Amino acid sequence: MKIDKNTINKIARLSRIKLDDKESEDYIKDLNSILDWVEQLNEVNTENVEPLSNISSSILPKREDVSKDTNSSEEILENAPDKLEGFFAVPKVVE
C-alpha cells in the first residue's frame, strides 16, 4: 500500500488537520516507511486465524448500573469557546 498526495489530503481532512505542502510531503514519506515496515507481517499465513481485538488475557471489567449525580454543566462548559444557557454554542451545522 502506498500513501500518495490524495490519500494524505483525505486523512488530513477526516482528522480536521490542516497540512501545508511541506508537511504533506513529510507525512507521505513517514507513513510510507511505517507501512512498509508493518507490511512484513503479510509474509505470515493468517488463513483461518480470527482477528485479535486485544492481547490482554484479563476480562472486561463491568460496573453496576448506578447513576451518580454529576450536575456537571458548569465544569463541562468551562473550556467551551462559546456557550449559551447551559448549551455549547458551535458554528451552525445544518443537516
Partner 1 sequence: MNNLIKGEKHDWEMVIGLEIHAQVKSNSKLFSSSSTKFGSSPNSQVSLVDAAMPGMLPVINKYCVEQAVKTGVGLNAKINNYSVFDRKNYFYADLPQGYQISQYKYPIVGEGKVTIDFKDGTSKDIRIVRLHLEQDAGKSLHDQNPSKTYVDLNRSGVALMEIVSEPDIRTPDEAGMYISKIRSILMYLDTCDGNMQEGSLRADVNISVRKPGYEYGTRCEIKNLNSIKFIKQAINYEAKRQIEILESGGSIEQNTMLFNTSTGKTRPMRNKEEAHDYRYFPDPDLLPLEISEEEIGKIKSSIPELPDELKNKFIETYKLSNYDASVLTAEKQTSDYFNETINSDPELKNYAKIVVNWITSELFSLLNKNNQDLNNSPVSPENLGQLIKLISTNEISGKIAKDVLEDMFSSGKTARQIVDEKGLQQVTDQGEIAKVIDEVIAENPKMVEQYLAGKDKLLGFFVGQAMKLTKGKANPKMLNDILKQKLNKKN
Q: Which residues bind partner 1 (CB under 8 A)?
A: 13-14, 16, 51, 53-54, 56, 58-73, 76-77, 82, 84-95
CB of 28 to partner 1, least distance (A): 19
CA distance linking residue 16 with residue 61, whole number of Å: 33
Of residues 20 and 51, the one with the C-beta less far from partner 1:
51
Q: Which is nearer to partner 1, 22 or 70 (CB)?
A: 70
Task: Match 490519500 to its residue by C-alpha cell.
Answer: 7
Least distance in Å: CB of 56 to partner 1?
Answer: 6
Q: Give the shortest CB-6-to-partner 1 separation in angstroms.
A: 13
Q: Report CA-CA distances (Å) from 63 to 44, 59, 60, 67.
A: 39, 13, 10, 11
Choice between 22 and 48, CB closer to partner 1: 48
CB of 7 to partner 1, least distance (A): 12
Give the 3-state secondary structure of residue 5.
helix
**Distances, alpha carbon 93 to alpha carbons 81, 86, 89, 90, in Å:** 16, 19, 11, 8
